[in-house]
Structures are given as C-alpha cells and as structure tokens.
C-alpha cells in the first residue's frame, strides 16, 4: 500500500473539516445572532472582545484590509449598537474599538450554541473515544499556536 502524499492528506483534511462544518451548522439549527451580521463583522466583534479592545489599524492588519475598510466595518457595527469607540488614556488620537453590552451578548450567544453542540456530541463518545478526541483537540490547539507564532 502506498503512503499518501502531503497534498492528498491536506486535501482530505480540508474536505473532512468542510463536512464537519456543514453538518454542525445543520445540527445546531438557526443561530441566535443578527441575520444582517456578516462574517467580516463577526471577525471585528471577536477582535473587539479583547480586554483592551482593538484599534482600527490593528483591525485592518488582522483582517488584511485597509484602515478605511476596517473603519467602515466598525461604523456599521457601531450603528447596530454592537461596538463603541473609546479614547486611549495615553494618546487621545487613538480610539479603541470595544464591545458594547449588546455586542458581548451577541458573542456569548454564539459561544453558547457552540458549547451546547459540542456537549451533545461528546455525550455520544465512550471513554476511549473521549481520550482520542482530547488528544486531537490538544493537537489542534498546538497547531493554532504554531500558526500564530509563524505569522509573527
């Protein structure tokens, strides 16, 4: 039996993860977040959830976009009442984008749906499967940390 190539394994991993993602959405059912929230706006909410918030420049870098585009995303989320701009204590020219209470509630609802779905799936596993799932989860976390370090 021939050993699969790196490209073949990568393709299979991506295909499997896409199937997992689609089936999880189907299992979870309707998500409890505003229907007019785009994926880019969701990324802004996650970035703004950091304790100190995020500046427009940091946000533009994280989203690989221009500061005016990032600012537009922030404006739309501010209009929806999900984020606010807070003046920096040390540099009055800098504004930090932070979640409002409604913005935090939106992220909490999404996290809650994910946690309920994960809990439902984990209940179906026996002890050996749970150990394997734990090991795979540790590997995934390690891969995320390595990718973050690689990005700089």
Contact between 83 and 95 under an 8 Å Cβ cutoff? The reply is no
Write the CATH number for 20: 1.10.10.10
For residue 68, being part of any structural domain is answered with yes
In whole angstroms, give the CA distance from residue 124 to residue 27: 14
Question: Which structural domain range is residue 49 located in?
Answer: 8-151
Contact between 46 and 107 under an 8 Å Cβ cutoff? The reply is yes
113 or 6, which is more confident:
6
Q: SS3 for 40? A: helix
Residue 54 above 90 pLDDT? Answer: yes
pLDDT confidence tier of residue 126, bands split at 50, 70 and 90: very high
Residue 13 above 60 pLDDT? Answer: yes
For residue 1, being part of any structural domain is answered with no
pLDDT confidence tier of residue 100, bands split at 50, 70 and 90: very high
Contact between 32 and 116 under an 8 Å Cβ cutoff? The reply is no
pLDDT confidence tier of residue 113, bands split at 50, 70 and 90: confident
In whole angstroms, give the CA distance from residue 117 to residue 26: 11
Give the pLDDT confidence of 20-40 residue by residue, as tens digits. Answer: 877 777 777 666 556 678 888
Residue 93 above 90 pLDDT? Answer: no
In whole angstroms, give the CA distance from residue 70 to residue 63: 8
Average pLDDT over residues 119-129: 90
For residue 81, being part of any structural domain is answered with yes
For residue 129, being part of any structural domain is answered with yes
For residue 128, being part of any structural domain is answered with yes
Q: How many domains does the chain have?
A: 1
């Amino acid at each position: 039996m021939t050993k699969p190539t790196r490209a073949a394994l990568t393709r299979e991993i991506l295909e499997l993860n896409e199937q997992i993602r689609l089936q999880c959405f189907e299992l979870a059912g309707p998500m409890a977040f505003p229907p007019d929230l785009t994926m880019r706006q969701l990324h802004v909410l996650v970035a703004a959830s950091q304790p100190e918030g995020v500046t427009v420049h940091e946000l533009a870098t994280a989203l690989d976009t221009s500061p005016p585009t990032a600012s537009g995303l922030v404006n739309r989320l501010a209009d929806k009442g999900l984020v606010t701009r807070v003046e920096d204590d040390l540099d009055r020219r800098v504004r930090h984008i932070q979640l409002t209470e409604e913005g935090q509630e939106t992220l909490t609802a999404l996290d809650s749906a994910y946690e309920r779905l994960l809990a439902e799936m984990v209940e179906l596993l026996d002890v050996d499967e749970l150990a394997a799932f734990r090991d795979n989860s540790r590997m995934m976390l390690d891969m995320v940390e390595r990718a973050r370090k690689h990005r700089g």
